[in-house]
Amino acid sequence: MRPLLTYSRNVFIPVTNVCRNRCLYCGYRRDEGKIIDRKEAIELLERGASSGCTEALFSLGEAPNKVSGFGALLKKTGCDDLIDYIIELSEMALDKDLLPHTNAGLISKEDMRRLAPYNASMGLMLETTAEVEAHRSSPGKRPELRLAAIEAAGKLKIPFTTGILVGIGETEEDRVRSIQALKKIHEIYGHIQEVIVQPFDPKQGTAMSHLDPPDSETLAETVRMARSILPPTVAVQVPPNLTDPLPLVEAGAEDLGGISPVTPDWINPNKLWPTPEELESRLSGFELRERLAVYPRYIDLGWCGKMTQTLVKRLAGPDGLRRRD
């Protein structure tokens, strides 16, 4: 019997690229930013639905309301509050039979509480518990703030995605401490469904464009370390558009994250998604199965958002993965 390897078929909705952080490796943030309008969002959601997606990934820069000029952008949507707008976009996704998963950066516990009913799951990358030069102008990347936000999601019983970023100036010991910190939170609240081991990807025009990404062995060793520390119920995820997934799944990764047939990875737009057929060929020793934005364990617990539960039950098969028919 081949080991199980899962992924989600999603459509990636870039809500806004306005962000208060100025990470030295980021190519997503823009000084002259934009916010997606309803027409563009609906078009993307419809394309995702017609292409067989089950997840709508809403991603945005962190605390855009703290950036000069964002208020005027938001006002064009007819909303005074960004969380209200994300809720509206989530309702539009649900109307298209797509399960929302929102990664809004560092937000308050109250804002998480407001978003939670409309999301099957939510996420926030820890990145690292180390103080690194790459985050010197990024107030939202302070480790204690991000750990507190992940803990707040646990208190709200939100199925959660987090992860570490490898190659941004942290040490091997820093990576161990980061995974141990996530394990500690999960042992208390039990809400972390997956931890991403994501490699730094150098981008033209950024301060870190001259640096090399981590090599395959460093990533494989990080996956082995994460798998040895995290409990078996927490999946280790690797992004197959940023690195060859084969040595990483052989090292213990069990999930490939979201793969979109219709939209690029807006965070790493030059890194194309492999198709499921390409992955089947490359990973022939594994059984590739499609999952939902919420893992089977949390479907059974009923932790996915109240407004998503009917759709989750319709999309999930008896094993909690995507229904085969």
What's the average model confidence in pLDDT over 149-176? 98
Those residues with Cβ within 8 angstroms of residue 252's Cβ, 6 or more apart along the chain or in another chain: 223, 224, 226, 227, 228, 236
Q: Using the structure block, give the residue that is written with the tokens 């370390």.
A: 225
Write out pLDDT tens, residues 36-94: 999 999 999 999 999 999 999 999 999 999 999 999 999 999 999 999 999 999 999 99
Q: How far is CA 85 from CA 34, 66, 75, 94, 297, in A?
A: 14, 16, 11, 14, 30
Q: What is the pLDDT of residue 239?
A: 98
Which of 4, 124, 3 minimizes the C-alpha distance to 60?
124
Q: What is the pLDDT of residue 6?
A: 98
Which of 202, 177, 120, 190 minimizes the C-alpha distance to 150?
190
Backbone φ and ψ for 197, nearest 5 degrees, come out as -105, 100
**Tally of residues, the chain:** 325
What's the average model confidence in pLDDT over 103-113? 97
Q: What is the pLDDT of residue 174?
A: 98
Those residues with Cβ within 8 angstroms of residue 64's Cβ, 6 or more apart along the chain or in another chain: 16, 18, 19, 20, 33, 35, 70, 82
Question: Fold for domain 4-315?
Answer: TIM Barrel (3.20.20)
pLDDT at 5 over 90: yes
pTM over 0.85: yes
Write out pLDDT tens, residues 179-198: 999 999 999 999 999 999 99
Per-residue pLDDT band at 325 (split at 50, 70, 90)? confident
Those residues with Cβ within 8 angstroms of residue 218's Cβ, 6 or more apart along the chain or in another chain: 166, 167
Question: What CA–CA distance (Å, rounded) separates 223 from 225?
Answer: 5
Question: What CA–CA distance (Å, rounded) separates 220 from 232?
Answer: 18
Q: What is the pLDDT of residue 32?
A: 80
More confident residue, 123 or 324: 123
Burial of 257: CB neighbours in 10 Å, binned 0-12, 13-18, 19+: buried
pLDDT at 30 over 90: no
Q: What is the pLDDT of residue 221?
A: 98
Q: Which two tokens stand for residue 221?
A: 């060793």
Per-residue pLDDT band at 14 (split at 50, 70, 90)? very high
Write out pLDDT tens, residues 239-292: 999 999 999 999 999 999 999 999 999 999 999 999 999 999 999 999 999 999
Those residues with Cβ within 8 angstroms of residue 210's Cβ, 6 or more apart along the chain or in another chain: 202
